[in-house]
Structure formats: C-alpha cells, structure tokens
Amino acid sequence: MMTKTKSETPTFDIPRGYGMPVINLYFWVGLVSAILLRGIIIADHYSVFWGKAIWYLGVTGYLWFFTHRYHIAKRRFSVVKDLDLLEKVRTRQKLSEKDLEGMEYLLWSLSVSKERANYLIITVFSVIAIALSLCLDLGILKL
C-alpha cells in the first residue's frame, strides 16, 4: 500500500510570491535599519538622545525586516518539507505538477530575493562604521 505524501493532499497550497513593491519595501527597511544601527557610532559622539533614537529606529526596523525574512525562510522550508522535494530529487523520483509548482516557487523566490545585495551593503557599511569609529575614538578624525 502506498501512502500519500502531503503534496498529494488537496490541503497543501504552494505559497504565492510577493510583488516587487513588497520585496523592495523590505529591502529598504533592512538597508535603512542597518545604516541607522551603524550610524549610532557617529550620533553617540554628538548626543545621547540621538544615539538612543537611532538605536530604537534601527532595532525596530530590523525586527520588522527579520520577522519578514523568518516568514520567507519558513515558507520555503515548508515547501521543501511538505512536498518531500529533497528526497524526491535525491532519489531522482518523477516530480508531480505540484512538486514542479513548489520548485518553481522556490527558484523564483531565490531569484528575486534582494538578500545578497542587502548582505553586501551591510558588510560595506559595517567596515565603514568600524573604520570611522576607530578614527573618531583615536582622535584621527574630528566631526
């Protein structure tokens, strides 16, 4: 007797991807939050108030951004798990229409994701923030 996988049950739906405006919104929320958090280094040299304000804004933005990223990761994982895609690909099983829809969603989601650009920009701003902070702390630079 063959057991049905979740992908064969009518209750499993492949997630729909977000439109580019939503994808871009979260990209900018993450980017601005990253810049704000690195800007604390400069703000603290001038004002405790602005340092705290920037910290709250940056952390709130990150909370919103990473909650969204967690949701996306959970959706992707669910597609792989519920369709048992890894095992099907590993054992070279024939993929059903639902499996192919799931694979299409995963590949689309990865291809439109701005996470690579976000990681690169965050890395660059982190290096700049560290260098700027060292220059300010060592008195090399006066702002």
Residue 77 is predicted with a pLDDT of 97
pLDDT of residue 139: 87
Residue range 67-98, pLDDT digits in tens: 999 999 999 999 999 999 999 999 999 999 99
- pLDDT under 50: residue ranges of the chain: 1-3, 7, 9
For residue 52, the number of C-alpha atoms closer than 13 Å in the C-beta half-sphere is 3
d(CA 88, CA 92): 6
Q: What angle do CA 88, 7, 115 make, to 5 degrees?
A: 75
The pLDDT of residue 46:
83
Q: Output the pLDDT for position 133.
A: 87
Sequence-ordered list of residues with C-beta below 8 angstroms from that of 40, at least 6 positions apart, any chain: 51, 54, 55, 58
CB-based burial, 111-133: b 16+ in 10 Å, e otherwise = eebbeeebeebbeebeeebeebb
Residue that the structure tokens 């690169």 belong to? 120
Structure token digits, residue 10? 């009518």
